[in-house]
Amino acid sequence: MRNEWKNIDETTRNRLEEALDQREMNFKGYSQEWFEDGQIDEVAFCENFLQRMPLKCINGIFFSYDGMLPDSEVEKEIYRMVKPVLTKGISKKVKQLLEVLKLEAYSEELPVQMDRIHVNNGTYFLNGDFTEKKEFCLNRLPVNYEMKEAKPERWLQFLSELLEEDDIPTLQEYMGYCLIPSNKAQKLLIILGKGGEGKSRIGLVMRKILGTNMNVSNIQKVEHNRFARADLEYRLLMVDDDMKLEALKDTNYIKTIVTLEDKMDLERKSKQSVQGNLYVRFLCFGNGSLSALHDRSYGFYRRQIILTVKDVPPDRVDDPYLIEKLQREADDIFLWCLEGLKRLLKNKYRFTISERAKKNLHEAMESGNNIIAFMQSSGYIRLEENTTATSKNLYQAYGRWCEDNTEKPMSAKSFSGYLKENEKKYHIHYSTNIPSDNGKNARGFQGIHTQIRIDSYR
């Protein structure tokens, strides 16, 4: 080969010779370990690989001392090692070696550790201890811990311009909540605005703090795409930076994930489903609250915290470099989040919720379920002891209220279901023996009666 380079200029020839010398050197080194007679000893290769790059494989996913490692990163390292000794079929060989490596690196599951946070420069324990020692872990954050007071000045200025003062502690606690693999608070956070306020920058800051431990997707996809949930395994946070206004057709998976403290069935394309660890939290930004087509239950709404941002001042001049400035404060913002986490743990996973946030949730519930407003209305029904009303008459009164208030009525089944679910709240009692207009007994409720002429509404 070198004889063919005689007519090449000296500079280029020198570079080619250096590259060939390096290739031959690599070839000789590798041939003594796992390459012989033109063949790769796959077991020896994997043993050598794990000596160079310690990994554990759990449920087909690689983990290093820095947390979860995508297959593409491992394939890149395999390719770098085999490139000096193979000239054909490299892509196929890399895939084969990846699968063998998964067998060689097989490990039992790592523990889900809620008492510590693995960071770039060591391990921080929630009791205040810190060590530079690293261990295999499910999640490691790409930030450094320093024992000092958090002073992310630009971040705090940004928040003071974005949120009301009494809502900032809620955000601080929720961002801190996302630092550990726990769903014990059983909440998702929604931040609403008209647009252009800069609320989605919170997600970009969380990306800087969490790195690959965060996913960007959308709530609708998680609920309706059976493969989307597997992408959330071992993730600390999923951000929906533009939450759709269309109502969810179902809410079962979202409600389950928000409160999940065990494993759930996860399905990946062309693979057998497995019982996987899901401790992901949801942070959503949008112009309207999260709603459901059929689920108007308190159980759906109680899982939500809803914050609203301030309106944009008409004379505000946006800083095009704001996100870069905020991300430069990532280490200090991490410490600020840590303060929120400690406060949340001290309060036994109960968030600091302002009166404004409570009102936001109540309005979202009323918007998603107009039966609530109907039950609070006057002139249509009255809650009173020793009175009764059939389900039919109550639904007709509800229909009149919807007509008068230009509201779309829910189905009779949903209406009756809501009243049954909230018997204690309204001090009513469901019965199958309520006297009806035709002299027979029918289904209905005790402790409530209608105040309008039913025969005038059809």
Dump pLDDT digits (tens) for 131-158. 999 999 999 999 999 998 889 999 999 9
Radius of gyration of the chain (CA): 30
Predicted pLDDT at 29: 47
The Cα–Cα gap between 21 and 84 comes to 11
Write out the residue limits of the CATH 1.10.10.10 domain(s) in the chain: 373-448
Axis-axis angle for helices 71-82, 90-104 (nearest 10): 120
Distance (Å, rounded) from C-alpha 292 to C-alpha 305?
16
pLDDT at 298: 75
Domain at 373-448, CATH from 1.20.1530.20, 1.10.10.10, 3.30.160.340, 3.40.1390.20: 1.10.10.10
What pLDDT does residue 297 have? 73
- 203, 283 Cβ separation under 8 angstroms: yes
Q: Which CATH class is domain 151-362?
A: alpha beta
**CA diameter of the chain:** 112
Q: Quick one: pLDDT at residue 24?
A: 53
pLDDT for position 144: 97
Side chain identity at residue 436, one-letter code: S
Name residue 83's beta-bridge partners: none
- Using a cut of 0.75, tell me whether the model's pTM lies above it: yes
pLDDT at residue 326, rounded to an integer: 96
Using DSSP, state whether 106 is helix, strand or coil: strand
Q: In the chain, list all ranges with CATH 3.40.50.300.
A: 151-362
Q: Which residues of the chain have pLDDT under 70?
A: 1-32, 454-458
Burial tier of 261 (Cβ tally within 10 Å: 0-12, 13-18, 19+) = exposed
Q: Which of 145, 144, 140 is nearest to 113 (CA)?
A: 140
H or E stretch at 383 = strand 381-390
| Contact between residue 175 and residue 340 where contact means Cβ atoms under 8 Å apart | yes
* End-to-end CA separation in angstroms for the chain: 95
The CA distance from 57 to 93, in Å, is 19
The pLDDT, as a whole number, for residue 457 is 45
